[in-house]
Amino acid sequence: MVSVTSTYLGIDLGTTALKCLITDHKQRVVGLAEVALPTSRPRPGWSEQKPQDWWQALGKACKMLRDRQRTAWSRIAAIGLSGQMHGAVILDGAGHVLRPAILWNDGRAGAEAALFNGKFSDIGQIAGVAAVAGFTAPKLLWLQAHEPEVFKQLAMVLVPKDFLRFRMSGDFITDPCDASGMSLLDVAQRKWSPALVEAAGIRLENLPRIDEGPRASAHLHKPAADFLGLPAGLPIAAGAGDAAASAIGIGAIHDGDGFISLGTSAQYFVTTKSFRPRPQQMIQALGHGLPDLWYQVAALLNGASPLSWLNGVLQGGTLQSLLQRTQRRYAGPGRILFLPYLNGERTPHNDPAARAAFHGLHAGTTQEDLALAVLEGVALSLADCQDVLEQGGTRVAELLVAGGGTRSAFWMQMLANVLNRRITIPAGSDVGAAFGAARLARLAVTGEAIVAVCTKPKALLHLEPDQKLSKAYVDRLGDFRALYGALKGIQNV
C-alpha cells in the first residue's frame, strides 16, 4: 500500500560523485544532493578510492537534503542503493577496510584475468562473459600475488554500494546485478559459483548474501541512523548495480528495451527475459536488478569522462562554453579522429592497455576541433558496440539515453546520427541510477507490482537521425576502427 505522505531515498555511489535523491508518492523528485568523490591513480592504469570517503560523502549529501527538504526527509519510508560496479572493497574479520578500493576502471589485473579465464573452457557461459582486468575476481588474484599480507586478512569482499549498506546496517548483502559483475556468479542460476569462487582464491563465506533488488534486505541500525539523521529501522532494498538501476529508473524492464547510459563510463544496455551470453564478442550477460530478468550490455570504460579530461587539459573555461562553441562551428564529421581509450577498453576490444589518441592534428587545429573529435570518438565507440550486439541478433529501434551526457542536446543528436537510431531523453535522465534506487526502495515496502512502479518517465526530447549525416558517419566508423588497429601494437608496448 502506498502512503501519500511517504517518501523514498535513492543513493547512487558513482565514480565521480555520490548522488542522493528523494521521491514522493507520485515519483516526483523532491530533493537532490550531490557530493564529489576523489580518485587516486598511484600508477598508470590504476584507479582507487577510499571507502571512508564514500561514507563521509553520504553523510554530507544526507545533511544537504535534511537541511533543504525537512518535510520530505522526515517522511522517508525506505532506502535504495545503486553504485559503480566491479570494485573490490576488502574487509578484515572486524569489518575494517584493509586497503583502498580497486575500481572498475583499474587495469592492473590484466594478467590475472587471463590466468583466471584459462582455468575454465566455458567461463562466459557461467559468468556471462570472460573476466577482464576491471572485474573483481582478477583483482583478488592480483592481491594474492602482490599484497599477500592484505590477502591473508581478507574476510569479506564487497562491491562499493554494498559497503555503504554494511556501514548502514552491519549486514553483508548484494544483488544479482552487482554479483554478476564480480566474475564469481553462476549468472543463469543467480547463485555464487563454487568453482569460480575457488579459482579466485577465496571461500563462499568471504562473499555477501544475494537478495533480489526490490527486497527489503536489511534495516538501518542506530549508529548509522544517528550519523545520517534518519530513524533507526528503515528498510534498505537490496538495490542494483548502476547499469541495472538506471534501467529501472527509465523503465527498461521488458524484453528488448534498450538504453544507453552515458556517464563517466558508458553502457549500451538491452533487457532480456533469459540469460543470453555472447562472451566471444565481449557482450556481457548479467542479472538485472529485478527478479527473473537479465540484460546484455556492451560496456565502455570511457563515456563522458574523455570530454571532462579534455576540458581540464585545455583550461579554457567551462565545459558548457566549450560545447557551445563546438556546436556553433559544427558542419558534419570532423577531420580529426579521436580514440577515447583513456582507461583502456572493454567492448569490443577487451584491451586494458589501449590508450587514447588524436589523429589528423595540423597547425590550424582548434580547441573546438579537439572537442568535436572527442564527442565523435565516444559516439563511434558506441557504434562499435551496437554492431557487435546486432551480430548476435540484438537490434533496438529506439534508444533511451540516461546519464550526465544527456545534458548536451548537441551530443545527443550526434548519437542519433552516428547510431542511426531514434534517441529519446527521458525526464530525470541525468539521475537515472539514483531514481532507480528510489524505485527499488519503494518496491521494498509498498507491495506494488513492478510494472506499476517502473514505468517509462515522460520524454523530454525525441531526436531523429539525419540520414545524410548517418551515412557520412558509417565511413568515419571504418576509419575509427582502422586507427585502433594501426596503433594497437604501439599502445600495448
Grid cell of 113 as nine digits: 584475468
Give the residue among 413, 433, 428, 420 at the shortest CA–CA distance from 459.
428
422-438 average pLDDT score: 87
Residue 367 confidence (pLDDT): 95
Query: Is the alpha carbon torsion for 111, 100, 10, 176 positive or negative?
Result: positive
Residue 255 confidence (pLDDT): 92
Confidence tier at 18 by pLDDT (50, 70, 90): very high
Model confidence pLDDT, tens digit, residues 20-68 = 999 999 999 999 999 999 999 999 889 999 999 999 999 999 999 999 9
User: Is the pLDDT at 264 greater than 90, yes or no?
Assistant: no
Burial state string for 368-400 with b = 16 or more CB within 10 A and e = fewer than 16: bbbbbbbbbbbbbbbbbbbebbeeeebebeebb
Model confidence pLDDT, tens digit, residues 172-214 = 999 999 999 999 999 999 999 999 999 999 999 999 999 999 9
Mean of all residue pLDDT scores within the chain: 94
404-422 average pLDDT score: 94
Confidence tier at 491 by pLDDT (50, 70, 90): low
Model confidence pLDDT, tens digit, residues 294-331 = 999 998 989 999 999 999 999 878 999 999 999 999 99
Please state, in angstroms and rounded to a whole number, the distance separating the CA atoms of residues 109 and 139. 6
The structural domains of the chain, ordered by start, are 7-250 (3.30.420.40)
pTM: 0.86
User: Is the pLDDT at 261 greater than 90, yes or no?
Assistant: no
Residue 317 confidence (pLDDT): 83
User: Is the pLDDT at 492 greater than 60, yes or no?
Assistant: no
Q: Which residues are catalytic?
A: 242
* More confident call, 92 vs 394: 92
Residue type, 34: E
Quick one: what percent of the chain has pLDDT higher than 70? 99
Grid cell of 142 as nine digits: 592480483
User: Is the pLDDT at 493 greater than 80, yes or no?
Assistant: no
User: Is the pLDDT at 281 greater than 80, yes or no?
Assistant: no
396-411 average pLDDT score: 89
226-247 average pLDDT score: 96
Rg from Cα positions in the chain: 21
Confidence tier at 12 by pLDDT (50, 70, 90): very high
